Homo-oligomer: A and B are copies of this chain.
């Protein structure tokens, strides 16, 4: 056995358990439930799931697949296309899987990311037959060092009947020591979670497991799939500026200092761009307490704009991986990776007073936000951690471009077609048009502000007409119920949300 392997696989007993991915995959039976590592393309088990997909060529079977969040390496895509998934939770972000979900060919349970560990721990979900977890090292005692994400790996390892470890020799060994694994423990026997700052450490850097449960070790050599975010564009830069303007006003009002408050930002290009916008801001000594640490977080760390970042995974573009991974040990005192139950824990989010920034698919004039469904029925990715953060943070900010599809879709509608965040949980809405600070406002006040500050000019008149008609009917939250979804229905029928009588404005504004 070569020295690189023995350096990372230190348990002599486990060295005897090295098997091929195919052999490990052969242990998985029809109807089983798998707990896979992996959070937003980072740290996913790569070899065994693909070997399992291979088996589907000659065999009919289905498994339940629980993960941290979305997987990379086309695993979600290939599993979905192979038709081997019965139920998938709590989050995915793959086009093929999305298609199968929306065709009803696989069941998808869309959960708050902090809730999965609770449900696994309390035996509410199916028992996990196999945990398949990527690691960068296994200690002499057989303890597991996770790789670029922690996700739900710790709880899967604890609760699974059997364990397969994918020891990834390509991932940076410097990840060892960067994790802080904390097990919340059973309901009714819990102490407070002692974390009082983003850089605190309350656990261990490895996951203790029952050695007997480890059935096999599979050696792998592939890096994570790079992130798919696109660089900031003109519109996302404008949105970042609006957000910064809002934060500046908070400082002026004495509610924040130049150090702001620990920042959470959702995945995706818009949130990444918004974080990126902080690079040139006057804010300093910033802290990040988030799920996914994307490219922008490393730029902010490199520029000393951010002094510390706590996350649950590191998800980088190809380019960024090349520069960050070789010098990863330089981030050791600036970075920690936690289980998603802790990165998204209401106790910590409320205590630290986070500023959370997440992306909306659409919002309505009263400040309700849809994060998951296109036109009310088709799943996009899932709610992810946005609900964990929005409900419990100090400032729940949602960002979205005001229009999509070249103006044929308004992201601000009379009534959103699926509600993931209610009016009670949305503090600030930001589009490229401006921001609306909704805190403390009654619904009609919110509507006026959102229409005025956030809507695209193309749709302002049409929305004002709706709102005025609704106001005549009265109520705390005025609506014309029979027209509430008319914008979505217009789009489905005519290809645009814009009604003919208002479309004269279009040429002028677009």
Residues of A within 8 A of B (CB): 87, 89, 101-104, 107-112, 115, 118-119, 122-126, 187-188, 190-194, 196, 253-255, 261, 345-347, 350-353, 368, 372-373, 375-379, 383, 387, 391-392, 394, 417-425, 439-442, 444-445, 470-471, 473-479, 481-482, 484-485, 488-489, 492
Contact = CB atoms under 8 A, between A and B. Distances in A.
A425 B378 CA distance: 20
B102 A474 contact: yes
B475 A394 contact: no
Nearest to A416: B419
What copy number does this chain have within its complex?
2
Contacts of A394: 118, 122, 187
A368 B187 CA distance: 26
A119 B477 CA distance: 22
Nearest to A348: B347
A481 B346 contact: no
B379 A475 contact: yes
A287 to B, nearest CB: 10
A122 B107 CA distance: 43
A194 B191 CA distance: 8
A104 B373 contact: no
A124 B440 contact: yes
Contacts of A372: 476
A111, A193, A474 pick with most chain B CB within 10 angstroms: A474
Contact of A261 (B188, B261, B419): B188
A126 B441 CA distance: 11
A261 to B, nearest CB: 6
Contacts of A475: 102, 373, 376-379
18 contacts: A89-B440, A103-B474, A104-B471, A124-B440, A126-B440, A190-B352, A192-B351, A346-B350, A372-B476, A376-B477, A376-B481, A377-B475, A387-B422, A481-B485, A481-B489, A482-B489, A484-B485, A485-B485
